[in-house]
Amino acid sequence: MKVLYITNEYPPHVYGGAGVHIEYLAKEMSKLADVEVRCYGDQKPGNGKIKTTGFESSAGFLKLDRGLQSVFKTIDRDLQIVGEGVDADIVHCHTWYTHMAGIWAKLNFGVPLVVTTHSLEPLRPWKREQLAGGYDFSLWVEKMAIEMADAVIAVSNGTKADINGLFNVREDRLKVIYNGIDTDEFKRVESTECLKRFGFDFNKPYLLFVGRITRQKGIIHLVNAIKYLNPDIPVVLCAGAPDTPEIEHEMAEGVKAVSKNRNNIFWLREMVDRKTLIELYSHAALFCCPSIYEPFGIINLEAMACKTPVVASAVGGIPEVVVDGVTGKLIKLEQMNESPFEALKPDVFAHDLAAEINALMADPARRDKMAEAGRRRVEDVFSWKSIARQTADLYETLIKRN
């Protein structure tokens, strides 16, 4: 069996959970099948077990606005990807960026198409800020790919419910397979070498956020919550890759405002390497995931694997990862009506976040119990070996059916 993975993110160009997912899935799947990865970037085929080729856009589309440039470059790269020909038994696409390539592969080469839904475009309306009219294209191509795919993988039961509510997908084509984590790599470490350059006291219990600066990740709400936190709690915001200049400016203004009366807020404006990330998790007293939309949330697995308890919003797949009161605390989002995105009561959410953070930061013994429980849960439920086997079984079913 040969599997072709098509993804916008792949090492060394990883900025989100989808990139982490495909990196580890491809690595584990290569033990069970021949694997090829075609991705966005400048990756060159090497001598490794996984053949990897990166594709750059051949045109800048400079006459278009910034959002549409991104969309047209996506279409250009997808066409180049399938223009190489497809000799795989299965094509497996990740995120809407690669769905056009998947559609072309299925229709032109007759290969079964699998789509993993790391997020769903209709539930990310803020993407219009980033893509303008291109958001309408992303909505269309995602719907087209999901509804014509031979199999759709939801990364959580919450995401499965969202797919059922938004798209026309037969039940026998929709399967839940969780994201995973490498527990040999993600584990608590004592080293602090990578942290020294940031200038904060990592020996003092601190609150940690890790993620992109985007509406989805809710970082602005966490920044707003800082005014309600115990002023002695250091806050480390490891946040980069802003979606737009506007949200980066909003983030900067928010951090500036809450820093006026305290000197223990540290904004690390970068997407750090894995060694640094593991050290950040390992020495944090508490991790915060304030997402307003999160189909799964690999970052919570990473924190739990490093024995760091989590305070997270109770949205999407997060309650399937973080067990409330056992591995961390979950916060319900209070809404003014049925829309959890455009009508969120931000100050209520910020206040609720701060209350749970303050309570846990004041209770080291409870945090220690949650840390141990989180590590056990990660080891028991979320191994990549199990996830790759489930995925390979799905592939084999589709190949036989085809």
Tokens at residue 373, please?
A: 């429980």
Task: List Cα–Cα distances, 294 to 131, 156, 320, 328, 363, in angstroms.
Answer: 20, 10, 11, 17, 28
Maximal C-alpha separation, the chain: 64
Do you find a cis peptide bond into 112, omega within 30 degrees of 0?
Answer: no
The 8-class DSSP code of residue 363 comes to -
Same fold for the pair 2-180+383-401 and 196-381: yes
- What is the C-alpha separation between 270 and 55, in angstroms, rounded? 24
Contacts of 256 (CB under 8 A, 6+ apart): none
| Alpha-helix residue ranges (DSSP H) falling in 259-297 | 274-283
> What confidence score (pLDDT) does residue 44 get?
87
Residues 6+ apart with CB under 8 A from 92: 3, 4, 5, 6, 113, 114, 115, 116, 395
Domain 196-381 fold is Rossmann fold (3.40.50)
pTM above 0.85, yes or no: no
Give strand pairing partners of 328: 310, 324
Is the domain 2-180+383-401 a CATH 2.60.90.10 member?
A: no
pLDDT of res. 344: 57
Per-residue pLDDT tens listing for the chain (402 residues): 999 999 999 999 988 889 999 999 999 999 999 999 999 999 988 778 899 999 999 998 999 988 899 999 999 999 999 999 999 999 999 999 999 999 999 999 999 999 999 989 998 888 888 888 899 999 999 999 999 999 999 999 999 999 999 999 999 999 999 999 999 999 999 999 999 999 999 999 999 999 989 988 999 999 999 999 999 999 999 999 888 888 999 999 999 999 998 999 999 998 899 999 999 999 999 999 999 989 898 999 999 999 999 999 999 899 999 999 999 999 988 643 344 444 456 688 899 999 999 999 999 999 999 999 999 999 989 989 889 999 999 999 999 987
Distance CA 252, CA 247 (A): 9
What pLDDT does 338 receive? 42
Closest CA to 254 of 303, 201, 198, 209: 209
Q: Which of 155, 4, 143 is nearest to 84 (CA)?
A: 4
Find tokens 């985007």 and name the residue.
Answer: 214
Q: How far apart are CA 72 and CA 356, in angstroms?
A: 44
- Assess contact for 144 and 103: CB atoms under 8 A: yes
Each domain of the chain, given as residue ranges in start order, spans: 2-180+383-401, 196-381
pLDDT of residue 339: 46
Residue 346's pLDDT is 65
